[in-house]
Chain A
């Protein structure tokens, strides 16, 4: 029956079970070893899914080389094939997979590079929305600001790594140029992935600024988020940081706990 046949075919394509027995039982030879006919589908699946992962993770691929990337991708695909036909959703788990891979242990920053690349991909396809207009906030009476709660733009992503992954990502961003060297001591990196319109951008921020923004993203008020930031850096400049956030397109909306003054 069809359900059993398709599950057995899936297993053969993913290298599970006994592909030779499946081929012998179900495939007409037609002058050729049936395993070879079946192999076309295993190749198609692995090659096209490896290409799809390579398109999402170009810097990971460059860091490890095409051959090792193909090896990693194959293991990942066999263990965690896509769950749906919407392929742009595929590959979020690669960072965790890399983190558990002994063969990649020599590149401890690799999972975080993958997290950054997924954030970029996810931001690229995220919903469109107008960023919060800086003029609206500029018009706000100063006494209302501490209670304000911001919502992040739907395409904004926040990434923190102990490794300088933003610098590594930039250094390996151009396939036609040898990468600049990055010292692993340069971390940690605190990164905002921003896409206020259609171009994805990466912004580096300081530790205090990052904590401030993460707290805002958890619906803390400006006063609450500021208190945490000032603990980290007593010179934290609230108005400058807010201005940078607004001009970068980090916010989508703001809730003042009451009507917005006209």
Chain B
């Protein structure tokens, strides 16, 4: 029996396996070799054209694999309000492809009509919480789906912030019913950049909302006048050993969840990427056995 003739495993709850991103340079190889992988995650915005090859490939791959739609352009944290046209295009894709997961970010990218294509940090205040909670609720209503919201990599903290990021996320989940996409690499990067203990961060989060993990590579920028430097999240290299270690502790704490290996620059061959996913799969399976 071919996978395509039994669509139910593609639509039900996603098992706690590893997935990888979907890139144009791998479309044909994926369809020809059908690698054994838990799911594919796409940047929703890449498929917002009216038609053409990207959408055709997405439809074809969605026939064979569970799909996760990860948005980078909705700008939930913008005081400007949500872009209705962008939300409508997202809804059209969600309705067409029925992804198993739909996720967005705890960040903003649009101010005064300019989209900055970066996941910019929010000041963690009651005011910001009210803004983003209203937008998460609006997006969930419009999409008819629960969103997972991803913790950001941050490089700066605002003087105005009054709440820890973990409390901000816990309260956002509570207020809107959204889930948490826990990016373990982002936790590591932010902890380094602001000199806090990443395990403290994990322990401060509520468990139930965690619906997915992300893992990715980052680079370490060193400065002459600041040897500690900044860790920069660029999804351009293998997951670092210290992030794998933190992932193991996160899986211990929250339990196994679907886990994406992200790679967005210097994208490797499919075999290299699948090998990273296999490593995550082994850790997830080990945790499942321990729990049994």
Contacts and interface: CB of A to CB of B under 8 A. Distances in A.
B86 to A, nearest CB: 5
A5 B108 CA distance: 12
Contact of A28 (B78, B122, B127, B156): B156
A83 B128 CA distance: 22
Interface stretch (A84-92, A176-184, A243-251): A84-92
A127 B123 CA distance: 40
Chain B binding surface SS class: mixed
A82 interface: yes
Interface string B174-202: 00000000000000000001110000000
B111 A9 contact: yes
B115 interface: yes
Given A87-B45, A88-B49, A195-B52, A10 B230 contact: no
Interface string A29-46: 011111011101100110
Nearest to B221: A40
B85 interface: yes
Interface in B195-238: 195, 223, 226, 228, 230, 232
Given A27-B157, A154-B50, A6 B108 contact: yes
B50 A28 contact: no
A33 B108 CA distance: 23
A2 interface: yes
Contact of A84 (B79, B86, B159): B86
Given A81-B114, A126-B49, A28 B158 contact: yes
Contacts of A83: 113-115
A13 interface: yes
A13 B115 CA distance: 11
B1 interface: no
A21 B5 CA distance: 61
Name, among A13, A86, A195, the residue most crowded by chain B CB atoms within 10 Å (CB to CB). A86
Contacts of A28: 156-159
B171 interface: no
B118 A41 contact: yes
Interface string B145-164: 00000000001111110000
B228 A125 contact: no
The 4 closest A-B pairs by CB, nearest first: A85-B73, A125-B49, A128-B51, A6-B111
13 contacts: A5-B158, A26-B158, A30-B193, A41-B120, A45-B116, A83-B114, A83-B115, A84-B85, A84-B110, A86-B48, A87-B117, A125-B54, A126-B51
Given A2-B125, A10-B111, 19 more contacts: A2-B122, A5-B160, A6-B79, A14-B116, A27-B158, A27-B159, A31-B195, A36-B226, A41-B155, A48-B118, A49-B117, A84-B86, A84-B110, A86-B86, A88-B49, A126-B49, A127-B51, A128-B55, A155-B51
Interface of B: 45-46, 48-56, 72-75, 78-80, 83, 85-86, 89, 108-118, 120, 122-123, 125, 127-128, 131, 155-160, 193-195, 223, 226, 228, 230, 232
